[in-house]
Structure 1
Amino acid sequence: MSERESKQKKAHKQEQKVIPVNTKAKDTFFKKVYENEERQRKLASFLLGIEAEKAATANVRPVLFGNKENDFSCLCDDIFYVLTEAQASVSPNIPYRLLEYATAGLRSMVDSEQLLYGRRRVYFPIPKLYVLQVGLEHKKEHLPQKVQYDMHLSELYRSATEKYGEEAPKPDLEATVHVYDFRMTLEEVLSYIEQGDLPKRFEAYDNDMRNYALVANGITYMQRTEKDARYKMPSNRTTVAEYLELLLERGIFVDLLSDKEVCDMTMAQFSRDDILIYQGREEGREEGREQGIKAFILDKVEDGVASSTIIQKLRKHFALDEDTAREYFRIYGKSE
């Protein structure tokens, strides 16, 4: 071994092994699932097809997400896994958001500015970026044909082809996000609850990610049966609590869903956004709509969500134009 290789190996051994945990991140069912070291190993093994010898949970100090609840990161065999859960529609901007998130995690491994700008090489774990997409869709054509697909940062760049033709510059910065999309139609969720039928595209994924999606999608569906006529009440279950019992019977997250405290937390977590959204959607109750918008904004501000994201969600959930959404945020968006 050369002297240079020996120095590199020594420096590699001295690198920081564990990324600081964000203790302020809210406890959620997503975090409960992956705080278990064995599940971390299984996740790493599934994503890369390798056996992970050890795993260290690392909820990275968020940058763009604020106090984002459903982001999980871990180190496994010098690989830095960044996994975020996304609900409802797929955001085309997720590659950039995860790039910032991963960069924040890597930066937290450097003990000082002096080390970062010094002559000694800093060794980082290999970042891998993933999205677990859950949610309900009313139209089947809105769903992908396959569960797994990739999104690229380069898809967000402006095109220079028209101006430069074949000589258009290629970007020097790229990031690939591996998406596991477990969204379901209303008919698919109802069929799963009543018959235990899984969408055919789900069959190859017998793992915690699929099970998490079944928990999230099923709870969301059950909560909306009393608010929206498009959600047909299942013949065998009428409440969220009964749906969680059904999941137990089917052997899904038995260790977690057997715990009443975890179940209560989970139901509260998935109901919060729905309650806020539907409170503001009630037709003929302008006062209720106003209070719903206010509560929605304050909740997102408390979670540290970026103002641009809050405005975007206001437009989507309350059918507001951009100027109106911005005005609501100006009025209610100040932390109390």
Structure 2
Amino acid sequence: MSTSNRKYKDSVFVDLFAEDEKAKENFLSLYNALHGTALKATEDLRNIRLDQVLYMTFYNDVSYLVDNKIILLAEHQSTINPNMPLRCLEYVSRLYETLFESKEKYSRKLLKIPTPEFYVFYNGEEPFPCDKTLKLSDAFIKKTENPNLELTVKVININRQNRHPLLKNCKTMQEYSIFVETVRKWKEIDPQNGFQKAVEECISNNILHEYLKRKTKEVINMLLAEYDYETDIAVQREESLMIGIQQGSYQKALETAKNLAEMGFAVEAISKATGLSKEEIEKL
């Protein structure tokens, strides 16, 4: 299944915190839980999300300008990608470009820029710490005690069994975590109608009740797209692994053929031993 022809779509996470009519209220609740604040003025929030993605076919990011900060949120449903600091660096660089005119950057006056913060919310099934910090410097080839460039991403595990304090302090995120669990359960029980059953159960249990009741059809469509996306990623990872194995096997065959040739074996014998063609052996 190819992702190249599919239009970019929002995930339920992004819709809940960035696009829905109550997204700013949900985001502000999350922001307050992360910072121990009590901000209430949603009109002070500015959605600055880019027409760019952190994940291949999904707008899986949430970006706001609030309280002189750039807050960039992302969601992970599988293994955490260790390259998130690099992705966030590219993303925030583009955000700064959109916030200021080019000529402002050449002014003799110091340009004041919003402070960036980066968060990833993990809700995959593989074990992962309650929270963890990823650093850009971890990827540097040459390690230094005080790197000249650093970017940190805070990863928070929102699976309920981890009991992260964020879930207690942000009702929307807690209910979203329960929603994800319910979707996962019903998808396994009833692959054909699982998404519909999950939404119905959450509504009856007062989990994201108003949101799901108002947007049942849209949410199911987003879940279907997300499921297809996760399937695509799994297939691509498997294909990438197989290509790596094949390339490694081919390289090993070339090395063996070269060694046999140096030992004086005939081309026909080398071909039979390695599976390489006569033309490939003669090029060595």
Question: Normalising by the residue count of structure 2, what TM-score does the alignment of the two structures yield?
Answer: 0.69
Q: CA deviation at 1:204?
A: 5.8
Does 54-63 or 71-80 show the bigger shift?
54-63
Aligned pairs (5 A) from 1:91-110 = 91-110=81-100
Contact 2:76 2:122 in 1 (8 A): yes
Contact 1:98 1:129 in 2 (8 A): yes
String of CA shifts for 1:62-98, please: whole Å, max 9, x gaps: 2765664110001111111000111210111111111
- Alpha-carbon distance between aligned partners in 2 of 1:118 and 1:41, rounded to the nearest angstrom: 34
Q: What residue identity is the alignment partner of 2:177?
A: A
Q: What residue identity is the alignment partner of 1:172?
A: N
Q: CA deviation at 1:155?
A: 1.7
Contact 2:85 2:135 in 1 (8 A): yes
**Does residue 47 of structure 1 match 2:34?**
yes
Structure 1 stretches of 5 or more lacking a match? Answer: 1-23, 161-167, 184-197, 228-237, 278-295, 297-309, 326-336
- Alpha-carbon distance between aligned partners in 2 of 1:323 and 1:200, rounded to the nearest angstrom: 36
Helix, strand or coil at the partner of 1:258 = helix
Q: CA deviation at 1:29?
A: 1.6
* 2:133 alignment counterpart: 150
**Does residue 320 of structure 1 match 2:263?**
no
Q: CA deviation at 1:254?
A: 1.4
Judging changes above 3 Å, is the alpha-carbon distance between structure 1 residues 123 and 253 closer, same or farther for their aligned structure 2 residues?
same
Q: What residue identity is the alignment partner of 1:33?
A: L
Q: CA deviation at 1:128?
A: 0.6
* 1:287 alignment counterpart: none
Contact 2:186 2:197 in 1 (8 A): no
**Does residue 211 of structure 1 match 2:201?**
no
Contact 1:133 1:181 in 2 (8 A): yes
Does 102-111 or 203-212 show the bigger shift?
203-212
Does 28-37 or 173-182 show the bigger shift?
28-37
* 1:119 alignment counterpart: 108
Q: Which residue among 101, 120, 134 is the counterpart of 2:123?
A: 134
Helix, strand or coil at the partner of 1:136 = coil
Q: What residue identity is the alignment partner of 1:117?
A: Y
- Alpha-carbon distance between aligned partners in 2 of 1:55 and 1:73, rounded to the nearest angstrom: 10
Q: What residue identity is the alignment partner of 2:244?
A: E
**Does residue 79 of structure 1 match 2:69?**
yes
- Alpha-carbon distance between aligned partners in 2 of 1:200 and 1:86, rounded to the nearest angstrom: 16
Aligned pairs (5 A) from 1:160-175 = 160=143, 170-175=146-151
* 1:231 alignment counterpart: none
Q: What residue identity is the alignment partner of 2:148?
A: D
Q: Which residue among 184, 190, 213 is the counterpart of 1:258?
A: 213
- Alpha-carbon distance between aligned partners in 1 of 2:67 and 2:17, rounded to the nearest angstrom: 17
Aligned residues: 230
Q: What residue identity is the alignment partner of 1:170?
A: N
Helix, strand or coil at the partner of 1:89 = coil
Judging changes above 3 Å, is the alpha-carbon distance between structure 1 residues 213 and 322 closer, same or farther for their aligned structure 2 residues?
farther
Q: What residue identity is the alignment partner of 2:115?
A: I
% identical equivalent positions: 22
Judging changes above 3 Å, is the alpha-carbon distance between structure 1 residues 318 and 77 closer, same or farther for their aligned structure 2 residues?
same
Question: Normalising by the residue count of structure 1, what TM-score does the alignment of the two structures yield?
Answer: 0.60
Helix, strand or coil at the partner of 1:321 = helix
- Alpha-carbon distance between aligned partners in 1 of 2:239 and 2:208, rounded to the nearest angstrom: 31
Judging changes above 3 Å, is the alpha-carbon distance between structure 1 residues 93 and 125 closer, same or farther for their aligned structure 2 residues?
same
Q: CA deviation at 1:262?
A: 2.6
Question: Cα RMSD (Å) of the superposition?
Answer: 3.0
**Does residue 176 of structure 1 match 2:148?**
no
Contact 1:41 1:76 in 2 (8 A): no
- Alpha-carbon distance between aligned partners in 1 of 2:11 and 2:58, rounded to the nearest angstrom: 10
Compare CA radii of gyration and give the structure with the larger one: 2
Q: CA deviation at 1:270?
A: 2.9
